[in-house]
């Protein structure tokens, strides 16, 4: 990462009643928009709007309900000139969100959950975040067998990149996410983070989504509130930036923005 290309902060806007991180606090569309505006004021470069929880064990949301939750929020935020991403595994939701103003499709399944997603990405021209994924939330914790987790995440994502580019998605539009917390143990998550250069060898931008996840929480007392995970998340954000991450996806934008400001100052000082 160069100083001319600082790591972007993607603020999370969950329009769900069952998010693991905020308990549905922003489920109402009006409150979700207000929360998004607060995140931008705190320093978010992008807002990632999602209408379906992907926490372990979460049930799928009906397609029409996901659309009802997501599209009005995307339209309102994009209409205010904010760069918006839509967090969805469904092609229909992705298309509707792009039509409402979203610039990025953030798909935790990398197109594996919906056969129509890859052609939809090709047709819309949106940027596309392809995350490492082995199965839906109700079974992902059983899919954790790896010989070399960093290399296998890279190779499995490389195959998705091949599918995307074969369908007409320019490589310049693809961003990779190693899928922290998805089909990985805590130790495997830390190994992926410690070896980001392995995924970086593909030469594509990398988005890191560690915010408030279980492996972060394992560093804290069992009774620690969810917000206590924000400081270690900010540290992960800073280390990810030092490792060259394109972006970090976080719930608490302020702490991560301050951490990235420190990284920028450090890099400026090292250049003399």
Catalytic residues: 213, 249
Query: 45 is written with which tokens?
Result: 């470069």
Write out the two tokens for 134: 């082995």
């Amino acid at each position: 990462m160069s100083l001319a290309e600082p790591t972007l902060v993607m603020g999370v806007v969950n329009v769900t009643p069952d998010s693991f991180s905020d308990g549905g606090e922003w489920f109402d569309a009006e409150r979700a928009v207000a929360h998004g505006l607060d995140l931008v004021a705190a320093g978010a470069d992008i807002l990632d709007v999602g209408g379906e929880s992907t926490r372990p064990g979460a049930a799928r949301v009906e397609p029409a309900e996901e659309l009802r939750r997501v599209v009005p929020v995307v339209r309102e935020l994009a209409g205010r000139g904010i760069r918006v991403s839509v967090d969805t595994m469904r092609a229909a939701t992705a298309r509707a969100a792009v039509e409402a103003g979203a610039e990025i499709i953030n798909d935790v399944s990398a197109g594996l959950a919906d056969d129509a997603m890859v052609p939809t990405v090709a047709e819309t021209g949106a940027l596309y975040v392809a995350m490492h994924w082995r199965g839906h939330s109700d079974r992902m914790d059983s899919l954790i067998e790896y010989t070399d987790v960093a290399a296998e995440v890279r190779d499995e994502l490389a195959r998705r990149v091949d599918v995307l580019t074969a369908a007409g998605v320019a490589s310049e539009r693809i961003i990779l996410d190693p899928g922290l917390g998805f089909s990985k143990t805590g130790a495997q998550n830390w190994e992926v983070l410690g070896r980001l250069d392995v995924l970086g060898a593909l030469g594509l931008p990398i988005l890191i989504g560690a915010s408030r996840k279980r492996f972060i929480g394992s560093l804290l007392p069992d009774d620690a509130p969810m917000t206590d995970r924000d400081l270690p998340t900010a540290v992960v954000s800073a280390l990810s930036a030092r490792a060259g991450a394109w972006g970090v996806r976080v719930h608490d934008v302020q702490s991560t923005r301050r951490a990235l400001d420190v990284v920028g100052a450090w890099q400026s000082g090292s250049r003399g």
